[in-house]
Amino acid sequence: MDLKSIFSKSLSSCLKGSLTKDEIHSSIEVPKHTQHGDLAFPCFRLAKIERKAPSAIAEQLAASLQAPEISKVTAIGPYVNVTFDPKTVGKKIVDTILQQGSQYGSHTFGSSKTVVIDMSSPNIAKPFSMGHLRSTVIGNSLAFIANKCGYTPIRINYIGDWGTQFGKLIVAFKKWGDIDKVKENPIAELFTLYKKFHEEAATNPELEAEGRRAFKLLEDGEEEITNLWKWFRDESLQAFKKIYQLLGVEFDSYHGEAFFNDKMQEVIDQLKEKQLLETSQGAEVVRLEDKALPPCLIKKSDGATLYATRDLAAALYRQREYHFHKALYVVGQEQTIHFKQITSVLGKLGYDWADNIQHIPFGLYLKDGKKMSTRKGRVVLLEEVLLEAITMAKSNIEEKNPHLQNAEDVAKSVGVGAIIFHDLKNDRQNDIEFSLESMLTFEGETGPYIQYANARAHSILRKSGEATFTTFDGLEDAESWDIIKLLRLFPEVIEKANLASSPSYIAKYTVDLAQSFNRYYGKTRILQQDTERESRLALVNAVSIVLTEALKLLGLKAPVEM
Q: In this predicted model, what pLDDT tens digit does every residue of 396-452 receive, in sequence order?
A: 999 999 999 999 999 999 999 999 999 999 999 999 888 877 777 777 899 999 999
Distances in Å between the Cα of 213 and the Cα atoms of 168, 209, 453 are: 9, 6, 59
pLDDT at residue 303 in the model: 77
- Please check whether residues 333 and 426 belong to one and the same domain: no
- Please check whether residues 150 and 260 belong to one and the same domain: yes
- Please check whether residues 540 and 472 belong to one and the same domain: yes
426 in a structural domain: yes
Confidence of residue 365 (pLDDT cuts 50, 70, 90): confident
pLDDT in tens, 151-173: 999 999 999 999 889 999 999 99
pLDDT in tens, 3-59: 999 999 999 999 988 899 999 999 999 999 988 999 999 999 999 999 999 999 999
pLDDT at residue 20 in the model: 93
pLDDT at residue 440 in the model: 72
Q: Of 67, 112, 118, 74, which Cα lies nearest the Cα of 88?
A: 67
Hey, which bits of 347-503 come out as E strands?
Answer: 357-360, 365-367, 370-371, 432-433
68 in a structural domain: yes
Residue 25 neighbours by CB distance under 10 Å: 18
The CATH number assigned to the domain holding 409 equals 1.10.730.10
- Please check whether residues 316 and 408 belong to one and the same domain: no
291 in a structural domain: no
Whether residue 273 has pLDDT greater than 90: yes
Buried b (16+ CB within 10 A) or exposed e, 135-153: bbbbbbbbbbbbebbebbb
Q: Helix 223-247 crosses helix 382-400 at what angle (to 10 degrees)?
A: 20
- Give the angle 274-276-280 at the CA atoms, nearest 5°: 150
- Please check whether residues 488 and 530 belong to one and the same domain: yes
229 in a structural domain: yes
- Please check whether residues 407 and 366 belong to one and the same domain: no
Whether residue 454 has pLDDT greater than 70: yes
- Please check whether residues 234 and 364 belong to one and the same domain: yes
pLDDT at residue 499 in the model: 98
501 in a structural domain: yes
8 in a structural domain: yes
Amino acid at 233: R
- Please check whether residues 345 and 416 belong to one and the same domain: no
pLDDT in tens, 513-538: 999 999 999 999 999 999 999 999 99
> Contact at 8 Å (CB) between 229 and 220?
no
- Please check whether residues 394 and 531 belong to one and the same domain: yes
| Cβ burial, residue 464 (10 Å; 0-12/13-18/19+) | middle
Buried b (16+ CB within 10 A) or exposed e, 299-314: beeeeebbebbbbbbb
- Please check whether residues 458 and 418 belong to one and the same domain: yes
Whether residue 370 has pLDDT greater than 90: no
pLDDT at residue 377 in the model: 55
Whether residue 190 has pLDDT greater than 70: yes
Helix (H) or strand (E) holding 436: helix 436-439
- Please check whether residues 41 and 151 belong to one and the same domain: no
Distances in Å between the Cα of 335 and the Cα atoms of 329, 339, 429, 431, 529 are: 10, 6, 13, 15, 60
Distances in Å between the Cα of 7 and the Cα atoms of 14, 54, 74, 490, 534 are: 11, 18, 13, 19, 30
Q: How far is residue 18 CA from its own chain's centroid? A: 41
44 in a structural domain: yes
The CATH number assigned to the domain holding 220 equals 3.40.50.620
Contacts of 235 (CB under 8 A, 6+ apart): 182, 183, 186, 187, 190
Of the three residues 338, 371, 404, the one that is the final residue of a domain is: 371
Amino acid at 52: K
Q: Which residues pair with 80 in a beta bridge?
A: 41, 75
pLDDT at residue 34 in the model: 85
Distances in Å between the Cα of 463 and the Cα atoms of 458, 520, 527, 528, 560 are: 9, 17, 8, 12, 13
pLDDT at residue 375 in the model: 54
The CATH number assigned to the domain holding 44 equals 3.30.1360.70
Rounded Cα distance, 409 and 415, in Å: 10
pLDDT at residue 177 in the model: 95
Of the three residues 339, 371, 403, the one that is the final residue of a domain is: 371
Q: How many domains does the chain have?
A: 3
Whether residue 374 has pLDDT greater than 70: no
- Please check whether residues 367 and 395 belong to one and the same domain: no
Of the three residues 67, 84, 101, the one that is the final residue of a domain is: 84
pTM (predicted TM-score): 0.93
> Contact at 8 Å (CB) between 218 and 167?
yes
Rounded Cα distance, 319 and 311, in Å: 12
**Alpha helix segments (H runs only) across 28-132:** 44-50, 54-64, 86-100
pLDDT in tens, 216-267: 899 889 999 999 999 999 999 999 999 999 999 999 999 999 999 999 999 9
Range(s) of the domain holding residue 414: 390-554
Q: Helix 206-219 crosses helix 186-201 at what angle (to 10 degrees)?
A: 130
pLDDT at residue 129 in the model: 85
383 in a structural domain: no
Mean pLDDT, the chain, rounded, equals 94
Transcribe 129-168 into DSSP letters: BGGGHHHHHHHHHHHHHHHHTT-EEEEE---B--SHHHHH
pLDDT at residue 127 in the model: 85
- Give the angle 467-516-10 at the CA atoms, nearest 5°: 95
